[in-house]
Chain A
Amino acid sequence: MTDAIEIAGVRKAYGKTTALDGLDLRVASGEVHGFLGPNGSGKTTTIRILLGLLRADAGSISLLGGDPWSQATALHRRLAYVPGDVSLWPNLTGGEVIDLLGKLRGGIDPARRASLLERFELDPTVKARAYSKGNRQKVALVAALASDVELLLLDEPTSGLDPLMEAAFRACIEDERAGGRTVLLSSHILSEVEQLCDRVTIVRLGKTVETGSLADLRHLTRTSIAAELDGPPQGLDLLPGVHALDIAGNRVRCEVDTDKLTAFLRQLTAAGVRSLTSQPPTLEELFLRHYAGDEATPEQVSA
């Protein structure tokens, strides 16, 4: 199976500001791929390059097997896009916008349109100027999801939705996955990413810092350990991957890189373990570490 999106070493600068600095992204056909990163890290720029709205300065880009710049209109008939900040023509109604975008894309499924309007509880007769941010986003979502396309490019599509509507969105994406569509989902909502995404890519400062399944990524983080031993532990500070070590008599507290746990536990059991608590890393820690860059452990970032 080919990849729906294949980007390697893409660079893009606006004047002196570098937006993308060698970004890589691979999205396999049929997967839901999470695209994460702090604000200003280059997610929207990447998506706009994929849409052929921007031309990359360097790097290779393949979208559905074609070049998004030179074959834009042909490729666009096979994808749908939801911008992060949906801005609509104030004097068109939501229904008119949905139909217009659908027709420009080459057709819209009326039955699916009707069921999506119901699912998202959207009134299509309201003029766009009267819609809230969440309702504008629903217009773009209905227009995108009602089209019969292979790929969905969603740029923070739920940032204005209430929790009920977000649940409706998740259900829709589950359906899309079941229907074999590919989804690139840029998001800040960790539970959404955890529930929906097969794999994620984390970007920071225009570069890819991590990519893989969530299980892979968890493996790269630290586990918190608290233990009470039979006697004072020996040589823990000499072990690799042990951080924030705090020894008070027979008690030990520290954080251990998850892939260095075996050696650490061996050393602990050598001293005799009376009690042991270990806390697995949360997704939140994982993202915070990557978002903030965590300069203290550069080997992890590059891992």
Chain B
Amino acid sequence: MNTLTGTGALVKMALRRDRIMLVVWLYALTAFVASTVYGFRGLYPTAAGRVDFVNTAAHNPAFLSLYGQIYGNSLGSLTAWRDATLLSVGAGMLSIFVVVRHTRADEETGRLELIGAAVVGRQAALACALTVAVAANLVIAMIVAAAAIAFGLPAAGSVAFVAGTAGSGLVFAGIAAVAAQLAQTARSARGLAIGVLVLAFLLRAVGDSAGQGGPRWLSWLSPSGWAELDRAFGAIRWWVLTLPVAVALIAGAGGAVLAAGRDYDAGLLAQRRGPGVGSASLRSPLALAWRLQRASLLAWAIGALVYGIVIGSSAKGIGGALGSGEVRKIMARLGGQAGLTDAYLAALLSFTGLVAAGYAVSTVLRLRSEETDGHADPVLATGAGRISWGIAHVAIAAGGTAAIMALVGLGTGVGFAYRAGGGSAEVGRLLVAGLAQAPAALVIAGIATALFGLVPRASVAVSWSVLGVTVAMLLLSATLKLSHWVLDVSPFSHLPKLPGGTADPAPFIVLCLVAALLAGAGLVGLWRRDIASG
């Protein structure tokens, strides 16, 4: 028996456990690229149109930081510009989830102990996780390349494009392998690896938007940067692809060395200790809910502010980038008839509202995981009532959603005022526009609360489906003319288009009332039903 004995059997089992997740990733990433090619082909059918677009986008720091440099003005170049860095982040996330799931997560739950006691080598679990991650990235790369070629993009460019993004997937498989040895829990292992991913994205964002004389070399330090620096569809630099392969091999080998040198269930980073007594304020269900949710809210708040600054500072001169009449029409349909810049910002804020609804849903559904994880029982066996326990989490979801949208609006205002001028009046106007999205997101949170109270078993799946349908409606409303009664189902359809539109208070009041009623129904359901056992 060597250290890899049993890897094959583990890979088979891992593929079986991941079969749905991997197919969803494959579909999502392929659809992402296909929709980009399809969209650009429709929007800029002529070379002249593409040149116009590239000239605008290549000088917009927000676009450069978000998407990267543009190498050329062919359809392929635009696609690679728009998708390469984001796809590299997606591939990285996929690898991190897969590797941690089959190493540290299984070790933390004790499943790996059961497996390790069978005829399975010490390194088999790590080898299995890396095999699955690498295979998933290669299969996805091949299918995305096939889709790109089917859309008529050059074959060599398509291969260089997917090789760059898959390279990022390989690098983060290796980094996750290291993180899984360092951290003692799956959660912190994922956190560590995602932290590196975010750092890589930021390095590239700063490098790409640095301009002449700035620290452009920063992009060369990032796997996300390598995904664009191979200049797919331009003058291809194949040698760049050796960077991710080399780093992936080094990181993967490093993970194996660390794994060989440690005990089962041990992490190389010491667990931090905490206070031996509870703080005086940790004495109510609300204080507990805040303690459990505050880290997530903080991360969301920072993300919201940064995202707001990016979209705010990208809005100046957006007219040029949205050259063709068709785009203007879509923006106007999404964002209202006012000035194009306002329409652009209103459309982006509307999407942000949906993302904030995602925060609200996940925060409300914490109630369900507290219940099924057996955390609710000890709390509800004290003087804390069910209603105050439920309200605590719902209140944080509501307050957090409002705070996130206010920060997005604030960031947008600051970014816009900084680039385009307008001072505090612009900041205030966009802060209100951001906050105006919150009532619609709260309705979605209300639905999740009602489902949690009334049909707890189905609450997780149905809540996310409701959000998914709402997102689909917004996306479809941009390109299709759906009849109004279909769109009216979505709470987001009832919001005035801000900034730019007129802010009638009535829809806000009605949406907040609907949200409160739904949450109330959920709390009544919670009050009457059995608490699930852990």
Interface residues of A (CB under 8 A from B): 44, 48, 51-55, 72-74, 76-77, 79-81, 83, 85-90, 92-101, 103-106, 123-127, 129-130, 140, 143, 153
Question: Could you say which of A96, A98, A104, A140 has the most chain B C-beta atoms within 10 Å of its C-beta?
Answer: A104
Contact A53 B278 (CB under 8 A): no
Contact B380 A99 (CB under 8 A): no
Q: Is the interface of A mostly helix, strand, loop or mixed?
A: mixed
Contact of A99 among B273, B277, B292 (CB under 8 A): B277
Contact B184 A130 (CB under 8 A): yes
Closest to B274 in A: A93
Taking A53-B531, A100-B283, A125-B273 as known contacts, 13 extra A-B pairs with beta carbons closer than 8 A to each other, sorted by chain A number, are A53-B533, A54-B531, A72-B385, A72-B386, A73-B384, A76-B381, A76-B382, A77-B383, A83-B534, A96-B279, A99-B278, A100-B282, A127-B274
A90 to B291, CA, bound (A): 12
Q: Do A48 and B533 form a contact, CB below 8 Å, given A83-B378, A103-B282, A104-B383?
A: yes
Q: In angstroms, how far is the closest chain A Cβ from the Cβ of B359?
A: 19
Contact A85 B383 (CB under 8 A): no
Residues of A within 8 A of B529 (CB): 55
Within 8 A of A (CB), among B357-391: 373-375, 377-386
Residues of B within 8 A of A48 (CB): 377, 531, 533
Closest to B376 in A: A53
- Cβ of B19 < 8 Å from any Cβ of A? no
Contact of A89 among B285, B292, B384, B531 (CB under 8 A): B292
Contact B271 A140 (CB under 8 A): no
Contact of A125 among B274, B288, B385 (CB under 8 A): B274
Q: Do A76 and B378 form a contact, CB below 8 Å, given A44-B533, A96-B282?
A: no
Contact A96 B377 (CB under 8 A): no
Q: In angstroms, how far is the closest chain A Cβ from the Cβ of B298?
A: 14
- The 9 lowest CB-CB distance pairs between A and B, nearest first, are A99-B278, A87-B374, A104-B382, A93-B274, A103-B283, A95-B276, A124-B276, A81-B381, A96-B278
Contact B383 A55 (CB under 8 A): no
Contact B381 A93 (CB under 8 A): no
Q: Map CB proximity to A onto B183-200 as digits: 1 under 8 Å, 0 otherwise.
A: 011010000000000000
Within 8 A of A (CB), among B266-302: 271-279, 282-285, 288, 291-292
Closest to B281 in A: A103
Q: Do A95 and B382 form a contact, CB below 8 Å, given A88-B375, A90-B185, A100-B282?
A: no
A103 to B281, CA, bound (A): 10
Q: In angstroms, how far is the closest chain B Cβ from the Cβ of A99?
A: 3
- Cβ of B530 < 8 Å from any Cβ of A? yes
Contact B383 A95 (CB under 8 A): no
Residues of A within 8 A of B379 (CB): 101, 104
Closest to A129 in B: B185
Residues of A within 8 A of B530 (CB): 53-55
Contact A126 B375 (CB under 8 A): no
